[in-house]
Amino acid sequence: MSVMADGDRAFLDSIIEVADEVAGPHADSVDRDARFPAEALDALRAERALSATIPAELGGGGISFSAVARGCFELGRRCGSTAMVFAMHHIQVATIARHAAGSQWLESYLASVAADQRLVASVTTELGTGGDMGRSIAALQPGEDGVTASFEKQAPVISYGAQADDLFVTLRRSPDAEQNDQVIAVAQRGQFALEQTGTWDPLGMRGTCSPGFVVRAQIAPEQTLATPFPQIMAESMVPITHILWSHLWLGIATDAFDRARAFVRAAAKGSSDGAPPPVAIRLSHLLAELSLLRAEVASGLAEFVEASEEPSRERLLTMTSTLRFNNLKIAASEQAPRVCQGAMGVCGIMGFKNDSPYSVGRHLRDTMSASLMIANERIHQTNASLLLIAKDV
Ligand SMILES: Cc1cc2nc3c(=O)[nH]c(=O)nc-3n(C[C@H](O)[C@H](O)[C@H](O)COP(=O)(O)OP(=O)(O)OC[C@H]3O[C@@H](n4cnc5c(N)ncnc54)[C@H](O)[C@@H]3O)c2cc1C
């Protein structure tokens, strides 16, 4: 078992406190009203948790990636939407931090995220390409003055777009570039305007507040990541996204399991002979399902951390690695709702009702978004091609 550094431990303790005392108590109203989890985000800002993944020399927490992943798990246990906002923000920030070296603009940008606890949203999905991250239609248009560049992107889903300070946007490199010749730009509040194009009344993850927007922005040309896009995707964005998402889905599934266990324990207390009630067997089956999810999530994190510690991070650029982290997403996104549904099966009507201590409806609805967040079928399509040519899997 690894021993946690003091800074990581203190960070995690503060996240657990926010999860238990703020995110959890507001989770039902966030879900019911499809409203942004403002109280939890304020509390996370107060703990300076939005800069956890930024190196200490830039004013960030210098917290390990493992601890941040664990933070997503802890928040997921109490409020899936808060955990998803926290995870998505850190996907952007950690990706920028891993590719900022050599860019004075990106380094001072990260310092400003730390100083002001800025919240960063993701603008990757696009009308016309859907969840295909490897293609963009909107292009970065160089300005005639050479000091500004502009873009307009039709984004059908931007989580917490209205609340975000900054946007992390995938674009075509230039108006002449092919759709797969992409670049990542960072636009700061004041540099972009959002025109909301839809509403947000979904089945689950309601507190992420993710309607569509048209984004129009003017930025400086240096507000882009210089590392080639496919390298950023393989080395950082894909594995980080899949690891942080799978941790929060595990958190939601774990709370559903805990509620099922509390239900069975209460039933056992009420029995006259003290013997486990028949439904305890179902709980045991459910633990087996949860254990599979735990193992998949833990091994994905361990492999990423190990590969990231190698000086060149080359292992992350292999097809084997892409397959591995794609598979983590597919497996976790299918297993988490399975566990939540199993928990509902254990609790019966008490799990089905929204106003019972054993309610797992929100858990089930929130985890049902998992297989759509970059559709699993798209990922299978990528994997299918890679499987034909990859040396090892
Ligand atoms: C809660 C939530 C928050 C989100 N937040 C953001 C955000 O902040 N920023 C952002 O950019 N996006 C966000 N998204 C969007 C998300 O990541 C996906 O990109 C988006 O949901 C995909 O939309 P889609 O299902 O219409 O698109 P598509 O990926 O186009 O899929 C449409 C349908 O086609 C199927 N399909 C696609 N490809 C194949 C294939 N090769 N073979 C067979 N079937 C296929 C899919 O299974 C699906 O049924 C969010 C989504 C959710 C649910």
Domain-located, residue 40:
yes
The tokens for 287 are 């633990």
CATH number reported for the structural domain that contains residue 97 in this entry = 1.10.540.10
* pLDDT tens track for 230-243: 999 999 999 999 99
Domain-located, residue 393:
no
The tokens for 38 are 């403002």
Q: Do residues 236 and 362 share a domain?
A: yes
* Residue 49 buriedness (CB in 10 A; 0-12 / 13-18 / 19+): buried
Q: Do residues 158 and 178 share a domain?
A: yes
Q: Do residues 8 and 151 share a domain?
A: no
Q: What angle do CA 251, 240, 37 make, to 5 degrees?
A: 50
The Cα–Cα gap between 172 and 221 comes to 13
Can you give the pTM of this predicted structure?
0.97
The range of the structural domain enclosing residue 195 comes to 121-223
The Cα–Cα gap between 224 and 96 comes to 10
Closest CA to 73 of 62, 82, 61, 60: 82
Q: Do residues 36 and 130 share a domain?
A: no
Q: Do residues 316 and 365 share a domain?
A: yes
Closest CA to 340 of 331, 329, 328, 352: 352
Ligand 1: which residue has its CA nearest to atom 38?
378
Domain-located, residue 204:
yes
The tokens for 109 are 């940008």
Q: Do residues 249 and 214 share a domain?
A: no
Residue pLDDT tens, the chain, 393 long: 467 899 999 999 999 999 999 999 999 999 999 999 999 999 999 999 999 999 999 999 999 999 999 999 999 999 999 999 999 999 999 999 999 999 999 999 999 999 999 999 999 999 999 889 999 999 999 998 888 999 999 999 999 999 999 999 999 999 999 999 999 999 999 999 999 999 999 999 999 999 999 999 999 999 999 999 999 999 999 999 999 999 999 999 999 999 999 999 999 987 777 788 999 999 999 999 999 999 999 999 999 999 999 988 999 999 999 999 999 999 999 999 999 999 999 999 999 999 999 999 999 999 999 999 999 999 999 999 999 999 888
Which residues does a 6 A CB cutoff place in the pocket of ligand 1?
Answer: 88, 121-125, 130-131, 157-159, 205, 208, 210, 369, 372-375, 377-378, 381
Q: Which of 173, 188, 223 lies at the terminal end of a domain, its last residue?
A: 223
Domain-located, residue 27:
yes
Report which residue type is found at 256: A
Atom index in ligand 1 nearest the CA of residue 123 equals: 11
Q: Do residues 276 and 381 share a domain?
A: yes
pLDDT value for 197: 97
CB 339 within 8 A of CB 297: no
How many A from CA of 329 to the centre of ligand 1? 13
Atom index in ligand 1 nearest the CA of residue 159 equals: 8
Q: Do residues 244 and 354 share a domain?
A: yes
> Which residue is listed with tokens 């892409």?
322
Q: Do residues 46 and 148 share a domain?
A: no
Atom index in ligand 1 nearest the CA of residue 381 equals: 41
Report which residue type is found at 315: R
Q: How many domains does the chain have?
A: 3
pLDDT value for 1: 47
Q: Do residues 211 and 322 share a domain?
A: no
CB 280 within 8 A of CB 269: no
Question: Which three-class secondary structure state does DSSP give residue 167?
Answer: strand
Ligand 1: which residue has its CA nearest to atom 22?
131
Domain-located, residue 9:
yes
CATH number reported for the structural domain that contains residue 177 in this entry = 2.40.110.10
Strand 166-172 versus strand 120-123 pairing type: parallel
pLDDT value for 273: 78
CB 91 within 8 A of CB 133: no
121 membership: H or E segment, kind and range: strand 120-123
Q: Which of 223, 242, 259 lies at the terminal end of a domain, its last residue?
A: 223
Ligand 1: which residue has its CA nearest to atom 2?
373
Domain-located, residue 392:
no
- C-alpha atoms less than 13 angstroms from C-alpha of 297 in its C-beta half-sphere: 28
Query: Which of 89, 95, 326, 377, when mutated, tests ligand 1's pocket best, judged by the most ligand atoms within 8 Å of its CB?
Result: 377
How many A from CA of 177 to the centre of ligand 1? 24
Atom index in ligand 1 nearest the CA of residue 131 equals: 19
CATH number reported for the structural domain that contains residue 298 in this entry = 1.20.140.10
The tokens for 81 are 């939407």
Query: Which of 85, 122, 159, when mutated, tests ligand 1's pocket best, judged by the most ligand atoms within 8 Å of its CB?
Result: 159
Domain-located, residue 219:
yes
Q: Which residues of 69-84 are buried (b: 16+ CB within 10 A; e: fewer)?
A: bbbbbbbbbbbbbbbb
Q: Do residues 85 and 99 share a domain?
A: yes
* pLDDT tens track for 178-234: 999 999 999 999 999 999 999 999 999 999 999 999 999 999 999 999 999 999 999
Domain-located, residue 160:
yes
Ligand 1: which residue has its CA nearest to atom 14?
157
The tokens for 391 are 């040396």
How many A from CA of 336 to the centre of ligand 1? 18
Q: Which of 63, 87, 118 lies at the terminal end of a domain, its last residue?
A: 118
Q: Do residues 166 and 203 share a domain?
A: yes
The tokens for 355 are 């106003």
